[in-house]
Every structure is written in structure tokens, then in C-alpha cells.
A and B are shown apart, each in its own frame.
Chain A
Amino acid sequence: MKTSYLARYALLLALAMVLSYVESQIPLSLAVPGVKLGVTNLVVIFALYRLGTKEAWMLSLVRVVLVSLTFGNAYSFWYSLAGAVLSLAVMTVLRRLHWLGDLGVSVAGAVCHNLGQIAVAMVVLRSTAVVYYLPVLLASGVAAGVCIGAVAAVLVRRIVW
């Protein structure tokens, strides 16, 4: 493994962790939990488009584990993991298929992140009551995905790597 490769990898991982932390510190006074911008997804999308599928997966999974260990708890770990895995799985497939542009892939990732978290909530609560959050989380996922996708598209094109 080349040193520069290792350094860049570590840089992205650190960036993803910091963004996760910053986002967790922003209180969103909403009645529905899980509504957020998902700035960490910027790093994941960048990795997916510029480094490759394997690298994006490594980055995303290591980030989830490290963030849960440092800022989270056992309870938040499963939510993050489900969201991250479902989101990245769908983005990986959609990118390969070339059906959608950057924006569409980002929106799909954001929406699937929320779907993964709802699925975990259903298991934890052993109740389907959380489906009432679904419409709001779908809409907020679209909004977040559009914002992040627009920025990510610029970053993917412009950043000198």
C-alpha cells in the first residue's frame, strides 16, 4: 500500500468522522427523529465515485464502527449500520446500472439511509408504529439527497486527488 494512498484514506476517514460528530451536535427540534442533512454522505459519495466501490464500503463501515465507539452507544450503532449499509448498497448498484445521474444516486442513498433506520426502529420497538414517520422521512431524505448530491457532484468533478 502506497503511503500517499494510506494518508488520503485516513484523511477521508477523519473527515467522515468529524462530519458525523458535527451533525450529531446540531439539534433539530422536530417531532420526527432521523431528519438530517447527512453531510457524511458527501465523503462516502466522493469515495464511491473517485476511489471505487471497495474503498467506499471500507470507509463507510469503519466510520460507523469508530463513530459509535467514540460518540455513540450500542443503540445508535445498529441505526447507523443499517442506514449506512442499505444506503451504500443501493448507491453502489444504481451507480453501476447508470440509470440515474449523481443527483438521483444521492437521493436514493439518503432515502435508503432513512429506510434502514426505520427498519431497525421496527425491530427495536417490535411495532409497526414507526411507519407514521415514513412520509416525513421520505420527503426529508429527498431534500437532503438533492442538497448533498448537488454539492457532491461538484466535489467529485473539481477536487484534485
Chain B
Amino acid sequence: MKKRWKRDFLFIAVILLGAAVLWWLLRPSGEGAYVLVTVGGEEAGRYPLWEDRTVTIGDRDYNILRIENGSAAIVEANCGDHTCVRTGAVSRAGETIICLPHEVVVQVVGGAPSDFDAVTG
């Protein structure tokens, strides 16, 4: 019985270690350059972070994205849970805002401004 307690403990430690390693690997890295908005996996737009603007994603099911002072946040949405609004502002490469009910993903992508121009042509 005592042995099994030890194994439980070890098992829990391994999961927590895995979580810590993942967290470290996925941590935001560097300055973000623009946000990539996808709805249901389809790209819905790319907006540079250095230009202030307000975008409404979707129409009947909407999320209002505001880009201000180099960071992006969803300030209003008519989804059920408002997790996207609570996520707050994102600005560093790799940070994301997700609205599960509306299938919206707003992801900050890094890279120099020149890369951005190259992508948009």
C-alpha cells in the first residue's frame, strides 16, 4: 500500500513536470508584430499591432477586437462564456485569445515588420 502511494506521488510529479516543461516551451517569445485571426480554421484577417484599430469579427456571432498601443484584446463579444474578453490584452509572439463558442482564434505572430509586408505582398 505504501509503495502505491509513492507511485501515485511520482505519477503526479511527472505530470506536473510535463506541464512545467510545456509551459516553458510555449511561453511567449519576443515582441509580436501582428495578429492573425482565424474563424473555424479559416484565416479571417491579419492586422499589424502598431496600428490602432477596432475590428468586428463575425456578424451575428461577433467578437470585437481592439488593437491599441501595440496590444490586442477582445473587448466585447456575444458568446456565452466571455473567456475571450477575460483573457485580456495580448502583445507577445505566441500569445493567443480563443473564443471556443465562435471558433475564433486570435494569435500574436512575431517577426520584423518587413516579414509582415512580405506575407501580405
Bound pair (A, B): yes
List chain B residues, Cβ under 8 A from A104: 4, 7-8, 11-12
In the complex, which range does the number of interface residues on chain B fall in?
A: 20 to 34
Given contacts A31-B83, A129-B107, A135-B23, contact A107 B18 (CB under 8 A): no
List chain A residues, Cβ under 8 A from B16: 138-139, 142
Q: Is B51 an interface residue (CB 8 A)?
A: no
Question: A114-131 vs B: 1/0 string, CB under 8 Å?
Answer: 000000010011110111
Q: Is B98 an interface residue (CB 8 A)?
A: yes
Contact of B8 among A107, A133, A141 (CB under 8 A): A107
Question: Are the CB atoms of B18 and A75 closer together than 8 Å?
Answer: no
**Chain B residues near A (Cβ < 8 Å):** 1, 4-5, 7-8, 11-12, 15-16, 18-20, 22-23, 26, 38, 40-42, 81, 83, 86-88, 94-96, 98, 100-101, 103, 105, 107
In the docked arrangement, what's the CA distance between A130 and B11, Å?
24
**Shortest Cβ distance from residue B106 to the other chain A in the assembled complex, whole angstroms:** 9
Q: Which 6 residue pairs spanning A and B have beta carbons closest together?
A: A126-B41, A135-B23, A104-B8, A138-B19, A101-B4, A135-B19
Question: Are the CB atoms of A107 and B12 closer together than 8 Å?
Answer: yes
**With A101-B8, A131-B26, A138-B19 already in contact, 18 other A-B pairs whose C-beta atoms are closer than 8 Å:** A32-B83, A33-B81, A100-B7, A100-B11, A101-B1, A104-B8, A124-B103, A126-B41, A127-B105, A129-B96, A132-B26, A133-B98, A134-B26, A135-B22, A138-B16, A139-B16, A142-B16, A142-B19
In the complex, which range does the number of interface residues on chain A fall in?
A: 20 to 34
In the docked arrangement, what's the CA distance between A139 and B5, Å?
19
Can you list 13 residue pairs at the A/B interface with Cβ under 8 Å? A29-B86, A30-B86, A100-B4, A100-B8, A101-B8, A121-B98, A126-B42, A126-B103, A130-B98, A135-B19, A135-B23, A139-B16, A141-B15
**Shortest Cβ distance from residue B113 to the other chain A in the assembled complex, whole angstroms:** 23
Give chain A's interface secondary structure class. Answer: helix
Question: Are the CB atoms of A146 and B12 closer together than 8 Å?
Answer: yes
In the docked arrangement, what's the CA distance between A28 and B94, Å?
24
Q: Is A108 an interface residue (CB 8 A)?
A: yes
